[in-house]
Structure 1
Amino acid sequence: MLDTQSLLPAIKITTGPNPTHTILWMHGLGADGNDFVPIVQALDLPPATPIRFLFPHAPIQPVTINGGWKMRAWYDIKHNDLSWQEDETGIRNSQRAITALIEHEIQQGVPAERIVLAGFSQGGAMALQTGLRLPHKLAGIMVLSGYLPLPHHLAREAHSANISTPIFMAHGTQDPVVPIALANTSQQHLREHRHSVEWHEYPMAHAVCDPELADISRWLRKVLQ
């Protein structure tokens, strides 16, 4: 059994009693689990499907690119070029922590194939990092304004259980934080390694927009069946 005392703290919202599905949603750099709580009401999901939303809080740690200030972060960022000198140790530590949350959901009675791993920005990067290496097939992986971290390790580390797991990637064409070129390179890399990616672009910056929410709702209805 997992030690629940060591699990990441998380905000839990259920849309009905005895949830049959889980959406585990990671926030971006400097935010916390509260950041995407309002999205639960904005999503058009089947009322007959009881869902547990989990919004975990990343650990507080110094972030080099922000002058070493301590904030909630899934891993350190050292440069504006997010693909340069990645914090592999931090990424893998957060991967283990997120995997523990997934394992706890499975122990709570929600099978992995009914769990969606989602995230925004850094959280989206962690959704890919964790989900593609998980030895249990997930319902889906959702990446909003994010990218694929440690891409050169993917071929060796990706687990066959999630080779066909649907991946939803969405990005703003004017994103100044995570350049759309990096996200595009990420989705191409995923496709080259036989992963199924549904790609969307929107005329926005580093944010979430209404047309994107409509696409997210449609995709979630499909993968949460």
Structure 2
Amino acid sequence: MNMAAAVTLQRNVVSQTGKHTASVIFLHGSGDTGPGLLRWVCDVFGQNLAFENIRLIYPTASARPYTPMKGAQSHVWFDRHKISQDCPEHLESIDSMCNSLSAIVQDEIRAGIPKHRMIIGGFSMGGAMALHMACRYHQDVAGVFALSSFLNKDSVVYQAVESSAQCPLPELFQCHGAADELVFHSWGEETNALLKKAGLNTYFHSIPNLNHQLCGQELELLRSWILKKLSL
């Protein structure tokens, strides 16, 4: 783990309606914020994604220069050389953010929630960030989800999964819109196939006619999976 001082991230929380026994960390896509993702989920789903015993945490990435936007400031989890599978990962920024996000995991542990009662996931870039968190640094979480997300072909995540194939690993829930032209559906499929080959237990749901966005069907599938993974 990069031991540079962790940046304290702002976070929005949807509290559980009953006793707090589990937590989900939901990461927004590039250029969005925690409040923005929370509003989007509510708009698409018709209500908050809320649970009786599960707290939902929506962190916000700090603004930083983003290379695909010619260095303009944007709320992104890490930098990219370009939006493509075929380039190296920007590991310095990825590992620095893993350090900051791990502070949220530790806060939940201090609140009495063990890591096997946590799920980390996200939309688009947030899903890729979640895969780095869950597969490299927090392999004992209950699961990881990635919506409209992909990993670079040479991602260190694949290496981490392969080297841990004999140990319990978090299950992956992945959804991707079949009409996604911004982060191609085929990139999501290939990411899933490579993670499965490396030893991860994966699910992949292709949503017809969906572009690079959320939809109610996808969130209902996600809600059911979360309940299955975190049921008491």
Q: TM-score, normalised by structure 1?
A: 0.87
Counterparts of 2:112 and 2:30 in 1: how far apart (Å)?
31
CA contact (8 A) 2:12 2:57 kept: yes
What is the match of residue 3 of structure 2? none
Residue 29 (structure 2) pairs with residue 23 (structure 1)? no
Counterparts of 2:34 and 2:103 in 1: how far apart (Å)?
17
CA contact (8 A) 2:26 2:56 kept: yes
What is the match of residue 187 of structure 2? 182
Provide Cα deviations, 1:37-85, integer angstroms capped at 9, x if missing partner. 1436354x6x5x3221111110211111112210101111232324413
**2:200 is matched with which residue: 195, 203, 219?**
195
Counterparts of 2:86 and 2:102 in 1: how far apart (Å)?
23
Counterparts of 2:16 and 2:111 in 1: how far apart (Å)?
16
CA contact (8 A) 2:88 2:152 kept: no
Amino acid at match of 1:172: G
CA contact (8 A) 2:134 2:170 kept: no
CA contact (8 A) 1:132 1:162 kept: no
Amino acid at match of 1:173: A
Moved more, 190-199 or 177-186: 177-186
What is the match of residue 230 of structure 2? 224
Counterparts of 1:190 and 1:69 in 2: how far apart (Å)?
32
Amino acid at match of 1:75: F
CA 1:221 to 1:59, structure 2 compared with 1: closer, same or farther past 3 Å? same
Moved more, 111-120 or 29-38: 29-38
CA 1:144 to 1:161, structure 2 compared with 1: closer, same or farther past 3 Å? farther
Counterparts of 2:76 and 2:224 in 1: how far apart (Å)?
29
Q: Shift of residue 136 of structure 1?
A: 5.2
CA 1:104 to 1:30, structure 2 compared with 1: closer, same or farther past 3 Å? same
What is the match of residue 59 of structure 1? 62
What is the match of residue 212 of structure 2? 206
CA 1:210 to 1:162, structure 2 compared with 1: closer, same or farther past 3 Å? farther
Q: Shift of residue 195 of structure 1?
A: 0.4
Q: Give the 3-state SS of the residue equivalent to 1:132 in structure 2.
A: helix
State how 1:35-184 maps to structure 2 within 5 Å: 35-38=36-39, 39=41, 41-43=47-49, 49-135=52-138, 137-149=140-152, 151-158=154-161, 159=164, 163-184=168-189
CA contact (8 A) 1:163 1:194 kept: no
Q: Extract unaligned runs of 5+ from structure 1.
A: none
Provide Cα deviations, 1:148-186, integer angstroms capped at 9, x if missing partner. 357442354345697442210000112122111111111
Residue 216 (structure 2) pairs with residue 215 (structure 1)? no
CA 1:17 to 1:206, structure 2 compared with 1: closer, same or farther past 3 Å? same
Amino acid at match of 2:12: I
CA 1:150 to 1:115, structure 2 compared with 1: closer, same or farther past 3 Å? farther
CA 1:18 to 1:82, structure 2 compared with 1: closer, same or farther past 3 Å? same
Number of residue equivalences: 219
Q: TM-score, normalised by structure 2?
A: 0.85
Q: Give the 3-state SS of the residue equivalent to 2:200 in structure 1.
A: coil
Amino acid at match of 1:210: G
Q: Shift of residue 17 of structure 1?
A: 4.8
Counterparts of 1:85 and 1:136 in 2: how far apart (Å)?
23
CA 1:42 to 1:31, structure 2 compared with 1: closer, same or farther past 3 Å? same
